[in-house]
Amino acid sequence: MKLRVVIYLLMPFYACFAFGQEAYNTCTNALELCPLQVYTVNNLGANKTLCANCEDDFNFCFTANNTIWFKFTTNTVGGNVSVAFNNLVFQNAPGQGIALQATLLEAAVPCQSDTYTEIGNCEGNGQANFTLNATSLLANTTYYIVVSGDLSGNGVSIAAECTFDISATGPAVDRSSAGVVIDGSVTSVCVNQAFTANAIIFDCPDNSPFTWYVNGVLVAVTSDHFYSSSDIQDGDIISVETNCYAQCSQFVTAASNPISVYSFPLNAGVDQVIEQGATTQLLGSTTTTTYEWTPSYNISDTLSLTPFVHPEETTIYTLTATQNGCTQYDYVTISIDDPLIIPTTFSPNEDGINDTWEIGGVEKYPNCFVQIFNRWGQEIFQSIGYTDKKAWDGTINEKAAAEGVYFYIVKLRDDEKKEFKGSITLIR
């Protein structure tokens, strides 16, 4: 179905009618003809620009009188084109011409007449519907159409002025083959790992930006054709939209198949509180046969799901398991029953788990003094009073601290006057 575009021009109303010039009266403002659209246009009040190598300095099958200009851009293949002129309605002033003149041009330099090459047929006496045809046009190339009013014949002293419809069709401007698909070779991902969608475009020369959706909800706009996320859930559908043509916008869309997110049962067991020096058993479970506990010290067997541990301080044990190429983690905390529960590890990776170094029971000591040092003994953090809001978040001067071991001193400074020293392992 073709769309009709009517070009209106608002003009002052005088006792005598005067027609203003359309913007496409000049070559530099040539009206872009978009495929499948019909434009109602006119050369009423048009003039010509004539000087050496100016836009109207040509003589093909006619000489310019009162020109208007159009252009179109071929697709990624090129080929044949037809430009149709229909519904010609001429002005009927005494001594005025009644025919249009038109031709197709290729311009090595836009609007510079000494670089023009006439292509296809040339219409010198278009009094009714007519068509300009050209073959074997180049791909991704802009071509021009120049239209003028006839100023020939007995008694003719005013160049023809006409309102008409114009449209461009044919294989060279057919854009129905433009499209995008999402690469279907990757349809699954391990839980908590990044899934990357790849948009593959074809016959789509202007293809940025890419707009991405997950289950119909906008999630990203990218300048390249990749989208990656670690938040994909099982069954999610990713879709993408891009505009294939800067002129004459043509948006294309594609959607992925439902994404399969692979996971398997893994449980490190429930947290425990034990007395200082006591031994307890970890109660891990999983369906896979490949697993391991960390850290490896003070544990009876890192390759057993149910080893015995006797931590000297509160410790977070990590159970790591692998199956079908996917690795998962779960954690259990064995806390020492002490005035304070001081973790020896934490992971400020913004996953919502152990993102800050929280000290259990410290709220009972509002005047406590906490210091943290790097391995060279330099203080990197201190706080008087230590709450969840004041807890160290793994940064130094608002920059992420490196993974590794840090050291702490916690002075209660209340009735108990106790002091605790130890190490923290920061894991990202």
The CATH code of the domain that includes 414 is: 2.60.40
Closest CA to 144 of 102, 195, 199: 102
Quickly state the pLDDT bin for 17 (edges 50, 70, 90).
very low
Strand partners, 10: none
Tokens of 376: 């060279």
Domain holding 79: CATH number? Answer: 2.60.120.380
Instruction: Name the token pair of 202.
Output: 């074809």
Residue after which a domain boundary falls, among 173, 199, 234: 173
**Domain co-membership, 377 together with 406:** yes
Name the residue with higher pLDDT: 184 or 172: 172
pLDDT at 226 over 70: yes
The band of 20, judged by pLDDT with boundaries at 50, 70 and 90, is: low
Same domain, 58 and 147: yes
Predicted pLDDT at 123: 96
Same domain? For 169 and 91 the reply is: yes
> 103: which 2 tokens?
């031709």
Look at residue 249 in the predicted model and tell me its pLDDT: 87
CATH number of the domain to which 323 belongs: 2.60.40.10
What's the whole-number average pLDDT of the chain?
91
- 17 and 31 in a single domain? The answer is yes
Residues 241 and 304 in one domain: no
Last residue of a domain, which of 242, 262, 282? 262
Shortest CA distance to 428 belongs to which of 353, 376, 365, 331? 353
Question: Using CA atoms, how far apart are residues 422 and 405, in angstroms rounded to an integer?
Answer: 10
Q: How far is CA 211 from CA 197, 219, 224, 246, in A?
A: 12, 8, 10, 15
Sheet holding 404-411, edge to edge: 345-346, 419-426, 404-411, 369-373, 379-384
Query: Given this model, what pLDDT does residue 21 score?
Result: 82
The pLDDT of residue 364: 84
* Domains of the chain: total: 4
**DSSP sequence for 70-87:** EEEE--SS-EEEEEEEEE
Do 160 and 187 have their domain in common? no
Average pLDDT over residues 403-411: 95
pLDDT computed for residue 6 by the predictor? 46
Can you give the pLDDT at residue 11? 36
Q: Which two tokens stand for residue 395?
A: 């940064």
Coil, strand or helix: which one is 219?
strand
**Is residue 404 scored above 90 in pLDDT?**
yes
**Rounded Cα–Cα distance for residues 105 and 115 (Å):** 10
User: Last residue of some domain: 337, 363, 389?
Assistant: 337
52/100 same-domain check: yes
**With contact defined as beta carbons under 8 Å apart, do 312 and 392 qualify?**
no
Distance CA 16, CA 309 (A): 103
What is the mean pLDDT of the segment spanning 173-185?
A: 91
* 322 pLDDT higher than 80: yes
Amino acid, res. 191? V
Q: Could you count the other beta carbons within 10 Å of the beta carbon of residue 53? A: 13
Greatest CA span in the chain, whole angstroms?
119
How much is the pTM?
0.58
**Which residues constitute the domain of residue 144?**
3-173
Distance CA 20, CA 39 (A): 18
Same domain, 332 and 381: no
Kindly calculate the radius of gyration of the chain based on its CA atoms and give it in whole angstroms: 38
116 and 211 both lie in a single domain: no
Which of left, alpha, beta for 270 (phi over 0: left; psi -120 to 50: alpha)?
beta
Tell me what percent of the residues of the chain surpass a pLDDT of 70: 94
**Which residue intervals of 226-267 are DSSP H helices?**
none
* Same domain? 7 vs 153: yes
Sign of the torsion formed by the C-alpha atoms of 184, 186, 188 and 191: negative
Q: Kindly report whether the peptide bond that precedes residue 339 is cis, defined as omega within 30 degrees of 0.
A: no
Q: Which two tokens stand for residue 111?
A: 């609007």
Claim to verify: residue 7 and residue 112 sit in the same structural domain:
yes
The confidence score (pLDDT) of residue 416 equals: 66
In a 3-state reduction of DSSP, which class is residue 269?
coil
CA distances from 31 to 25, 47, 73, 300, 380 (A): 9, 16, 11, 81, 66
Q: Are residues 203 and 158 in the same domain?
A: no
pLDDT at 268 over 70: yes
